Structure 1
Amino acid sequence: MRPVVRGLAVNGEEDSVDSTPLLQRAQQPEAAPVCCSARYNLALLAFFGFFILYALRVNLSVALMDMVDSNATLTDNSTSQECAEHSAPIKVLHNHTGVTFPAMHAMWSSWAPPLERSKLLSISYAGAQLGTVISLPLSGIICYYMNWNYVFYFFGIAGIVWFIFWMWTVSDTPKAHRTISPTEKEYIFASLQNQLSSQKSVPWISIVKSLPLWAIVAAHFSYNWTFYTLLTLLPTYMKEILRFNVQENGFLSALPYFGCWLCMILAGQAADNLREKWNFSTISVRRIFTLTGMVGPAVFLVAAGFIGCNYSLAVAFLTISTTLGGFCSSGFSINHLDIAPSYASILLGITNTFATVPGMVGPIIAKSLTPDNTIREWQIVFYIAAAINVFGAILFMLFAKGEVQKWALTDHHGHRS
């Protein structure tokens, strides 16, 4: 029998061994088959949904270049002259937050058995990365060979088709699903017993006072600071300092997102295997994957400040940094479901609200720190982003939990609400 891997003790307590009943191996229900299962069909439909969602975001940015006057030129007198020019500047793409992720968290609170949680969520959310990878060059091809109008027709029709399948085949809970097998339904119910709350009101006071929640907030905020630095500031650094814009090449611009997509899928499989086959506790897995997905990008972000005029290394560091960030999909990103499945969507809404701040503040701070656009100034920007990322990872390591909190359960299960 393999030993249980214990994590770090916090505040004098051994909190890393899961006490949630279903995670004790002797009481685990027998898993239902994966093939043709309702829960994995939901994961695939969610995957295509996020694929289309992000494709619709990217195609607008690509088509916009064709919609405006193609002869217009952009001039920027503040561009640094430290390195030789490699290309003209191109508009940087931005992704913005919505209701889909909290809504999907709410779905998975009723559908995802805890020992399959990392796999199912990583499959569904990885669609966002692949949607960026494919739609970025595909939109350019459509604009070049056809017309920018067809970009919206193509992805718009795809969205309508997906919506029809979603409405026809998806149910809020396994109980309401029309075609789920009795074996799978029983497996999901048995896995989630003692995890879900039946109380009508949301325990807002307990939520606000929950230290594990604020550990996720810290990690989410810090991760997004580095993410937005990589998404926005590093391309700007390559344009202003290196005089090279990676988004001129469709393949190179999509490469970091492809790496992140692949990492998310593999990390989800690895995380659940560590828990199920190697007896790693939930909190140990969440800490390992969060640490890898936050400290790794921070290291390469700092390294980006010391590459001089080597734009090939800049592309490599951008790709590696974004790829390593995919580990967080099985770290803090789904920890909401570990500590409070019934309120996971609310918790994600809270953490995501704080996590949008870096997208607004980060570029402003970077601009104020780089008045002359020198490499030395940009090194400071990267140092700050890396330090914030590491700080958030440390807070998560210290205060995160891997089991359902008492306030997220009801008296029916022997806990205080």
Structure 2
Amino acid sequence: MMSSIEDLVVTKAEYRQELVEDHQHVPRPKILWGARHTLALLGFLGFAVVYAMRVNLSVAIVAMVKPQPHDNTSDHDGDVCPFPDDYDPDESDNEGGDFDWNGDTQGLVLGSFFYGYAVTNLMGGRAAEYVGPKLVYGMGVLLTSLFTILSPICAEFSAPLFITLRIFEGFTEGVTFPAMSFMLASWVPPNERAKLSSLVYAGAQFGTVVTLTASGWMCDSDFLGGWPSVFYVFGGLGVIWSIAWFCLAYNHPQLHPRISEEEKHYILHYCGNKRTKPVVLPWKAILTSMPVWAAVMGHLGSNWGFYTLLTELPTYLSNIQHFDMKSNGIRSGLPYLCNWLFSIIYSNLMDWLLVTKRLSILAVRKISNIIGIYGPMVGMIAMCFVNCNSVLAMVVLCLAVGMNGAIFSGYMCSHQDLSPNLAGTLMGITNTVATLPGFISPSVTGALTDGNQTLSAWRTVFIIASVIYFICNTFYLVFISADVQPWNDPTPTTKEGEGEGEMVIKIRGTEELVTSTSTVTTQPA
């Protein structure tokens, strides 16, 4: 058995050359549905549940909180929208609940999730690299689901306890994006990332659509007490999803018991240069890398506008456009339906352009960010001029949020482009910084609109978002790269004349570096 060990050993240079040659000749598997597609579907549903538990509060808080008194007359004459002709404040669905929270408190409640979320992004990326993304991602969703189910009890007890619980929800959910980014780097070849990564991350928009739409109906009903039902239902769905995830997901193609040999061979030859063990973080190289900072800025800019609308859109539609609870939920979900549909169509188009070599990977990343961030920037500026035209407001919001779906083929793939080995850590770094808008934006919006639900106050909110969009995306376009960075696969430094015996052992798609004086050992895949 060991007599043929020489057949398994090649020099490192030969192995790298073999990878290049394989990349040029291995076609996509002919099967229409493979193990990587199952993983993408599970990831899609996982992010749908994750975002359901994140955004349900945005609608529920309208039903939970006592409404601020409306002054539709003099103080802001011409700066507030008139109520609809059939609006009856005594019978309106917007009567609200029993919690006497002012604008600042509501901003803190809505933003508290992101205080915990910011803490665990980097830890989630490293944990995925050490213990595997399946466990990290699955436990992140499961624990968030259990906390969500407890939300109504904590809210009834006290606002500080509810805020604390939301911080813990953010803490457990913060690991999900970095863990999935690392997992996709193992499962999805570069030329399929625009399509399959977009499918996975688009689950967030699908979950947002369903949640915002359904939450309005649930809050207006007597089902499970009204607003508490949005926490019980979506938390319960998260628990059910977790069971399916732990039964069907696998960390790496070699570990999947049902993957076809053709698909395994295809994935490993395009993702096979990824180490099976985590590498030591080259912090200096990462923090001085302009492409990394470009990914950080792209993520930060996109999230500011996204979180502004995600947390505050129902409040805007209720207080400015005066939609009732049912129509508020439906209309709040429409922009994210456009986002989801656009991201699916757009990612398939980008996939075709990559496969047919009409565009390079870098061109796809830049074009996607131009559409996905400059487009919403223009939409935010347009929102300053829609005034009380509710139909025009919805059209602009649908176009702005819809075009943002292009980012899943843009900066959201850059982490995997720059460093497949450290994709989870890079997502953790960029998402940590990009989480700042999650709690800053609701606080800023709350401060600007507390007792001042006027068109001019909301214009300020939209202008701030558009300026941040422009600055951050311009930085991304100038400095981003689609090349794997040199620090992706650091090798030990050797003295002159040493290292000639460095070899790679390939066994069923794994690799192990040894020296000519090392004892050759093999490990199962």
Q: Same fold (TM over 0.5)?
A: yes
Q: Deviations over 1:133-174 (max 9, x none)?
A: 223333454562632466555444433332222112211000
Deviations 1:199-235 (A, max 9, x none): 6312122111111010011111111122233334555
Larger radius of gyration: 2
1:344 aligns with 2:342: no
Residue 302 of structure 1 contacts residue 383 of structure 1 at CA under 8 Å; is this kept in 2?
yes
**In 1, Cα distance between the equivalents of 2:207 and 2:399?**
19
Q: CA deviation at 1:413?
A: 11
Instruction: Give unmatched runs, 5+ long, in structure 2.
Output: 1-16, 88-93, 97-105, 118-173, 492-501, 505-525
**Aligned equivalents of 1:89 and 1:320: distance in 2?**
31
Q: 1:368 Cα deviation (Å)?
A: 5.8
1:43-192 pair list within 5 angstroms: 43-59=40-56, 73-75=67-69, 80-82=76-78, 83-86=81-84, 88=94, 96=114, 97=117, 98-142=174-218, 144=221, 146-148=223-225, 154-192=233-271
Residue aligning to 1:382: 462
Q: What is residue 9 of structure 1 aligned with on the other side?
A: none
Aligned-residue offset at 1:74: 3.8
Tell me the secondary structure at the aligned position of residue 262 of structure 1: helix
Q: For residues 247 and 130 of structure 1, what CA distance do their matches in structure 2 show?
A: 19
Letter of the 2:53 counterpart: L
SS at match of 1:106: helix
SS of the equivalent of 2:26 reads coil
Q: 1:292 to 1:197 in 2, by over 3 A?
A: farther
Contact 2:195/2:347 (<8 A) preserved: yes
For residues 388 and 312 of structure 2, the distance between their equivalents in structure 1, rounded to whole angstroms, comes to 16
Matched, 1:405 2:399: no
Query: Does the CA-based 8 Å contact 1:304-1:314 persist in structure 2?
Result: yes
- Give the number of equivalent residue pairs: 392
Report the counterpart of residue 389 of structure 2 in structure 1: 310
Tell me if 1:210 matches 2:289: yes
Which residue of the partner structure matches residue 41 of structure 1? 38
SS of aligned partner of 1:290: helix
Cα deviation per residue 1:259-300 (whole Å; 9 max; x = unaligned)?
Answer: 111122122212222111133111110000001101110111
1:15 corresponds to: none
- Which residue of the partner structure matches residue 272 of structure 1? 351
Amino acid at match of 1:127: G
Please report how far the alpha carbon of residue 324 of structure 1 lies from its aligned counterpart in structure 2 after TM superposition: 0.7
Give RMSD over aligned pairs: 3.4
1:359 Cα deviation after fit? 2.7
1:392 to 472, 496, 502: 472
The more displaced of 360-369 and 276-285 is 360-369
Conserved? CA contact 1:217–1:351, under 8 Å: yes
AA of the residue aligned to 1:399: F
Flag structure 1 segments of 5+ consecutive residues without an equivalent.
1-19
Judging changes above 3 Å, is the alpha-carbon distance between structure 1 residues 21 and 332 closer, same or farther for their aligned structure 2 residues?
A: farther
1:10-29 paired onto structure 2 within 5 Å? 27-29=24-26
TM-score by length of 2: 0.66
Given that 2:55 and 2:310 are in contact with CA atoms closer than 8 Å, whether structure 1 keeps it comes out as no
Amino acid at match of 2:483: E
What's the % identity of the aligned pairs?
38
Q: Which amino acid aligns with 1:175?
A: Q
Greater shift after overlay, 383-392 or 115-124?
383-392
Question: Residue 31 of structure 1 aligns to a residue in which SS?
Answer: coil
Do the aligned partners of 2:340 and 2:405 also contact (CA within 8 Å) in 1?
yes
What's the TM-score once normalised by structure 1's chain length? 0.82
- From the superposition, tell whether residues 349 and 21 of structure 1 become closer, same or farther in structure 2 (CA, over 3 Å): farther
* Deviation of 1:246 (Å): 8.2
How far apart are 1:409 and its partner, in Å? 2.0
Question: What CA distance in whole angstroms lies between the structure 2 residues aligned with 1:130 and 1:103?
Answer: 20
Deviations 1:57-83 (A, max 9, x none): 4456656777x69xx554366994432
After TM superposition, give the deviation of residue 45 of structure 1 in Å.
1.1
